[in-house]
A and B are shown apart, each in its own frame.
Chain A
């Protein structure tokens, strides 16, 4: 149990579908992150939220839309995705973005396949 829970674990969607990924953390952290992990590439930071406010958008296409209703929950809304968007999407949290003495805590990810 990592303290960060992601659902669903696996998702298969067509290019015209709309779906959402959910992340919930029980660690009392204020910062939450979305990362994308593709085969043979380093983890790519997508979005950072601090106290529900988006502080980082790493040039992510608009077909990915994040939502952070409170410090414990983070969503990633998906629409009109491309096959190259197939990847493992990881959520993480930390006390706050500048907590340099505290490691990131990751969920187990959602394996997304776009057909």
Chain B
């Protein structure tokens, strides 16, 4: 059974700092790894999807990497801004087609 862990559970940084969020998964037989952002009281917004054959994906200030062999993915946020404050969730999609999520990392970027 796939288990997804996100560390840290919460992170507070000053504006402008570069930061890394971590996601680990126990079963490397995945089709993709997805990163989402969730604002308070809202649904999830897709940020990046990395297919199993890919190593990384980039969108603006965001870069996500995937290392299947070690069961790890990272989300790198460059030059963080207060508007980046949110909870970031990763989910892995495997052979059962289910997307299994971690508990998320709550990010606060202080002005």
- A residues touching B (Cβ–Cβ < 8 Å)? 2, 4, 6, 40-43, 45, 48, 56, 58, 88, 90, 92, 97-98, 100-109, 111
Assess whether A101 is in contact with B49, with CB atoms less than 8 Å apart. yes
Interface 1/0s, chain B 15-49, versus A by CB < 8 A? 00000000000000001101010000111111001
Q: Binding site of B, secondary structure by majority: helix, strand, loop or mixed?
A: strand
How close is A24's CB to chain B, nearest CB, in angstroms? Answer: 14
Instruction: Pick the residue among B4, B32, B44, B46 that contacts A101 (CB under 8 A).
Output: B32
- Residue pairs across A and B with CB atoms within 8 Å: the count is 56
Residues of B within 8 A of A109 (CB): 41-43
Q: Binding site of A, secondary structure by majority: helix, strand, loop or mixed?
A: loop
Query: Is B102's beta carbon under 8 Å from chain A?
Result: yes
Q: Give the docked Cα–Cα distance between A101 and B34 (Å).
A: 10
Assess whether A105 is in contact with B46, with CB atoms less than 8 Å apart. yes
Residues of B within 8 A of A108 (CB): 41-43
Assess whether A107 is in contact with B43, with CB atoms less than 8 Å apart. yes
Given contacts A41-B103, A42-B103, A100-B32, is CB(A2)–CB(B45) below 8 Å? yes
